Amino acid sequence: MNLVPASVSDFRLGAERRLPRTLFDYVDGGAGAEVTLKDNVADFEKLRLGQRVLRDISNTSTEIELLGEKLSMPVILAPIGMGGMMARRAEVQAKRVADSMGIPFTLSTMAICPIEEVAAVSQVPMWFQLYMFRDRGIVLEMLERAAAHGVTKLVFTVDLNVVGTRYRDIRNGLFGGTDFWGKLRSGFIDYALHPRWALDVGVKGGPHKFGNIAKYSPAANALPDYAAWVQSQLDASVNWDDIAWLRTHWSGELILKGILDPNDALQAQAVGADAVVVSNHGGRQLDGVASGAEMLPRVADAVGAALPLIVDGGIRSGQDVVKALALGARAVMIGRPWIFSLAAHGEAGLRQLLKVFKGDMNTALGLSGFPQASKVDRSALLEK
């Protein structure tokens, strides 16, 4: 009997069965011993919502407004690199579902599908994520391409000037490591053991290139080539002056992703950021740093209500979304959950995931006595 997936763990299991091990590990894994990856989830699990009854919850609503956009719930699909390797043209599918569900989709610079292809899905504006490359001319051209295709929200990632050490990817030889068996698995054996993926994505899902940067790296013809080009372009000298420069060249909203320190959040505010994402890159960068759930209230206390906060990392249910709102976030970003659901069951899977999240939120809002998502505050959490 085929059961309907009811949680992120169900979708994760489906993705693990369908995807080649190298690709599943790329999405599922984190940096180092994955301590921070585990803490991201565990720290939200530890939080307790207060249960308050006999309150009028007849008008429960998950809707919010964020940076001038009305969202059906405070959930944003986070940028995921190589998404189109997990499902056929995954970024296009995700944009289509996000539009239909009334939430934003964020396209990664390292997406398989380029801006132009994803923007053609509909007239609904998407968000776009970008890094600071050594070649500032590429940065400027990417900004122009994004603006030309309706992007008004730029999510600028600031925590990838040094790439985290991800043991699973090294073991699997994902980007052409020197280990022979790792190369062999990533080359064809691992893919051959997953024929449904091989046909749907491997054969029908091309071209398999980083669509947004393909024109800037014409010599690249395989994922390891693109990864090497990206490594060569990541600029370790990036500092706040570069963000100020970026602010002068981008007229839309600027959202800095990868802020964990309250002082960094204040500096982001000072250079003109319109919002920040409290994030440790899903535990994929520096293992051992604090979780978003731990740092979010500290950042919120530092910046007050003037700077909208988004949080990612470890959000696995609608209850977690409500907890994040209580800690000071206006919205959350989810990454692994949406790519797991899409990899396992396509667009229907992602739509089901988002329906479950919204249902969870309605339950949590109603039983915690906060029928409006926009009104949730720290008192929604049970004091320790």
Find the range with the poorest average confidence among 194-198, 312-316, 377-381: 194-198
What pLDDT sits at residue 187?
62
- The residues assigned a catalytic role are 281
Chain segment 150-174, per-residue pLDDT in tens: 999 999 999 988 888 898 988 887 7
Q: Band of the pLDDT at 236, cuts 50, 70, 90?
A: confident
What pLDDT sits at residue 220?
74
Q: Band of the pLDDT at 191, cuts 50, 70, 90?
A: confident
The 3-class secondary structure across the chain, one letter per residue, is: CCCCCCCHHHHHHHHHHHCCHHHHHHHHCCCCCCHHHHHHHHHHHHCCECCCCCCCCCCCECCEEECCEEECCCEEECCCCCHHHCCCCHHHHHHHHHHHHCCCEEECCCCCCCHHHHHCCCCCCCEEEECCECCHHHHHHHHHHHHHCCCCEEEEECCCCCCCCCHHHHHHCCCCCCCHHHHHHHHHHHHHCCHHHHHHHHHCCCCCCCCCCHHHCCCCCCHHHHHHHHHHHECCCCCHHHHHHHHHHCCCEEEEEEECCHHHHHHHHHCCCCEEEECCHHHCCCCCCCCHHHHHHHHHHHHHHHCCEEEECCCCCHHHHHHHHHHCCCEEEECHHHHHHHHHHHHHHHHHHHHHHHHHHHHHHHHHCCCEHHHCCHHHECCC
What pLDDT sits at residue 384?
66
Q: What is the mean pLDDT of residues 221-238?
A: 82
Q: What is the mean pLDDT of residues 270-297?
A: 97
Residue 77: pLDDT over 80: yes
Q: Band of the pLDDT at 299, cuts 50, 70, 90?
A: very high
What pLDDT sits at residue 1?
41
Q: Which domains does the chain have, with CATH numbers?
A: 8-167+230-379 (3.20.20.70)
Residue 51: pLDDT over 80: yes
Residue 218: pLDDT over 70: yes
Q: Band of the pLDDT at 221, cuts 50, 70, 90?
A: confident
Residue 343: pLDDT over 70: yes
